[in-house]
């Protein structure tokens, strides 16, 4: 009888026995101004932090000078964008990289609305 009870308990619980998806701490969404040229794109957020874009950037050059929202992955071990650690790390000459997963055109210019 206890074996049946134990088997019934496996699938019960708040999530119905399904694994809980934990958010990827390296996946981020950043909105900012897209600048540069084909193959050398940079995203600068409102705080002034610039990110060298890598990955899926093939169609982004059409949006240079626009405000875009980028979903991407930062390299492991780097601080989260906008954090105090990220601000302290902006004194280097090389901007942190951001591997683009997807992007969305938000506005046709980089100015404030």
The pLDDT tens digits of the residues spanning 55-113 come to: 999 999 999 999 999 999 987 655 555 555 555 554 556 789 999 999 999 999 997 64
At a CB cut-off of 8 Å and minimum separation 6, what does 43 contact?
30, 32, 33, 34, 35, 50, 51, 53, 68, 70, 98
Q: What local confidence, expressed as pLDDT, does residue 74 receive?
A: 87
Residue 96 to residues 10, 16, 27, 75, Cα–Cα distance (Å): 44, 40, 14, 9
- Kindly report, residue by residue over 2-25, the tens digit of the pLDDT: 444 444 444 444 555 555 666 777
Q: Give the pLDDT score at 25.
A: 79
Domains of the chain, first to last: 24-107 (2.40.50.140)
Query: Does pTM top 0.75 for this prediction?
Result: no
Tell me: pLDDT of 42 over 90.
yes
């Amino acid at each position: 009888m206890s074996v049946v009870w134990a088997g019934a308990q496996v699938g019960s619980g708040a999530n119905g026995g399904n694994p809980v998806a934990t958010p990827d701490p390296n996946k981020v969404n950043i909105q900012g101004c897209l600048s540069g040229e084909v193959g050398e794109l940079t995203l600068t957020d409102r705080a002034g932090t610039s990110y060298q874009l890598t990955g899926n950037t093939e169609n982004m050059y059409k949006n240079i000078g626009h405000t875009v929202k980028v979903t991407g992955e930062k390299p492991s071990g780097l601080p989260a964008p906008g954090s105090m650690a990220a601000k302290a790390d902006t004194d280097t000459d090389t901007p942190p990289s951001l591997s683009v997963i997807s992007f969305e055109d938000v506005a046709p210019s980089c100015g404030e609305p």
